[in-house]
Amino acid sequence: MQTLKVNFTIPEDVIGMLKAYVGERQRSSFVAAAIREKLIHLEREQLRQALIEGYLAQREEDMALNKEWESATLESWG
């Protein structure tokens, strides 16, 4: 996998925690993994929101269709 060198501004306390918990030679991979994990979470949340919006949009149409067929469905029960 190709890598790029980038510059970020990160709060001092976050850098302190990173240095305390992650070895110097593992920091780049740790940061990359953390970013990847967060982006996957954001992608899943966006998909979840799209599914909710789709369900809500479809709900009214489904209710109208159920109402339209309700008499035919109940007719076979009686």
Mean pLDDT by 10 residues, the chain (78 residues): 94 98 97 98 98 92 84 68
Distances (CA, A) of 32 to 26, 27, 28, 29: 10, 8, 6, 5
- Establish if 11 belongs to a structural domain: no
Q: Cα-flanking dihedrals φ and ψ of residue 4, to 5°?
A: -125, 145
- Establish if 46 belongs to a structural domain: yes
Question: Could you tell me the residue range of the domain that residue 64 belongs to?
Answer: 19-71
pLDDT of res. 76:
67
- Establish if 54 belongs to a structural domain: yes
Whole-model pTM over 0.75: no
